[in-house]
């Protein structure tokens, strides 16, 4: 995949903000009672267009992300996907509850994932040099970090937080030069199964393995968890599978 990433300027903010006023986002955010958190310390919107560039062809996927930083109380990400005529909406929240950080992910208004994480996630870490770009130029391009080179390069596997996966990555696993060893965690095991199921398949024949992977990784946790799941959803959209909740 190729990516064109745009940090939305103040001049264009209202147009993109309307995407996040949908009934689904409103319902979930009301259920989460985010008004009790007060105003976010910082909020931005990033628009990314993912373009197909491999032998399987496909269609562009537009991913618009709203980042909401509530400091030590909570971090929230809203994602709006446009995949042809399909729409996908995701809410992710990391909230401090007593001594725990509780992560929840909604696809539409359905709660898919809920588990404890070690610390609050910095939603801005998904974008390189985001602090230097925010609110600067109307057409500032940024590089999305959540789909890092390690997950895409030939002879490479996904690498997060000092951990190298054996099966997660576009060119990684039992059928590639890189990786293929014992899975390092449950996420890696899901990646291995995904590689086996998708081998040799093209077009919409790839859709079921993608769906199986998202289901397999529900309620797991580990380095790069959110990034890897997001990458699979985008790849599924590009290859005409529509939105995978």
> Among 123, 145, 167, where does a domain finish?
145
| Kind plus residue range of the DSSP H or E element containing 38 | none
> Among 145, 175, 207, where does a domain finish?
145
- Here the tokens at position 12 are 């264009």
**CA neighbours closer than 13 Å in the CB half-sphere of residue 108:** 6
pLDDT in tens, 24-56: 999 999 999 999 999 999 888 888 888 876 666
pLDDT for position 148? 62
Name 91's Cβ contacts closer than 8 Å, sequence gap at least 6. 25, 28, 29, 32, 76, 77, 78, 79, 104, 105, 106
* Pairing mode, strands 141-142 and 2-7: antiparallel
Predicted confidence (pLDDT) at residue 133 exceeds the cutoff of 50: no
Picking from 110, 178, 142, 129, the residue whose alpha carbon sits closest to that of residue 46 is 142
State the pTM of this model. 0.84
Exposure string for 215-245, b = 16+ CB within 10 A, e = fewer: ebbeebbbbbbbbbbbbbbbbbbbbbbbbbe
- Do residues 106 and 91 make contact, with C-beta atoms less than 8 angstroms apart? yes
- Here the tokens at position 227 are 């990034």
> Among 145, 161, 188, where does a domain finish?
145
Residues 10 and 97 in one domain: yes
Predicted confidence (pLDDT) at residue 97 exceeds the cutoff of 70: yes
| Kind plus residue range of the DSSP H or E element containing 50 | strand 42-51
pLDDT in tens, 1-11: 565 556 666 66
Distances in Å between the alpha carbon of 136 and those of 65, 130, 131, 165? 18, 10, 10, 36
Helices 186-198, 207-217: axis angle to 10 degrees equals 170
Predicted confidence (pLDDT) at residue 175 exceeds the cutoff of 90: yes
Residues 152 and 236 in one domain: yes
- Do residues 47 and 231 make contact, with C-beta atoms less than 8 angstroms apart? no
pLDDT in tens, 13-30: 777 888 999 999 999 999
How many domains is the chain built from? 2
Residues 104 and 203 in one domain: no
Residues 174 and 214 in one domain: yes
- Do residues 197 and 208 make contact, with C-beta atoms less than 8 angstroms apart? yes
Predicted confidence (pLDDT) at residue 105 exceeds the cutoff of 90: yes
Residues 9 and 91 in one domain: yes
Q: What is the largest CA-CA distance in the chain?
A: 50
- DSSP state, residue 41: S
Residues 179 and 229 in one domain: yes
Domain interval for residue 183: 146-245
């Amino acid at each position: 995949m190729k990516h064109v990433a745009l940090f939305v300027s103040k001049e264009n903010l209202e147009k993109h903000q309307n995407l996040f006023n949908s009934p689904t986002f409103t319902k979930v955010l009301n259920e989460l009672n985010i008004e009790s958190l007060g105003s976010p310390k910082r909020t931005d919107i990033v628009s990314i267009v993912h373009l197909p560039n491999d032998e399987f062809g496909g269609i562009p996927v537009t991913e618009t992300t709203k980042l909401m930083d509530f400091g030590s109380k909570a971090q929230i990400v809203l994602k709006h996907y446009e995949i042809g005529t399909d729409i996908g909406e995701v809410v992710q929240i990391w909230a401090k509850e007593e001594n725990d950080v509780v992560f929840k992910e909604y696809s539409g208004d359905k709660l898919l994932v809920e588990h404890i994480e070690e610390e609050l996630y910095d939603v801005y870490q998904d974008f390189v040099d985001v602090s230097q770009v925010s609110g600067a130029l109307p057409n500032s391009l940024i590089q999305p970090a959540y789909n890092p080179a390690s997950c895409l390069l030939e002879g490479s596997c996904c690498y997060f937080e000092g951990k190298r996966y054996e099966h997660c990555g576009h060119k990684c696993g039992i059928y590639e030069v890189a990786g293929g060893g014992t899975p390092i965690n449950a996420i890696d095991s899901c990646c291995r199964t995904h590689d086996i199921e998708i081998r040799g398949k093209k077009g919409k024949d790839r859709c079921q393995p993608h769906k199986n992977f998202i289901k397999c990784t529900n309620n797991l946790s580990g380095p790069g968890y959110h990034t890897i799941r997001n990458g699979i959803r985008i790849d599924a959209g590009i290859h005409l599978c529509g939105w995978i909740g």
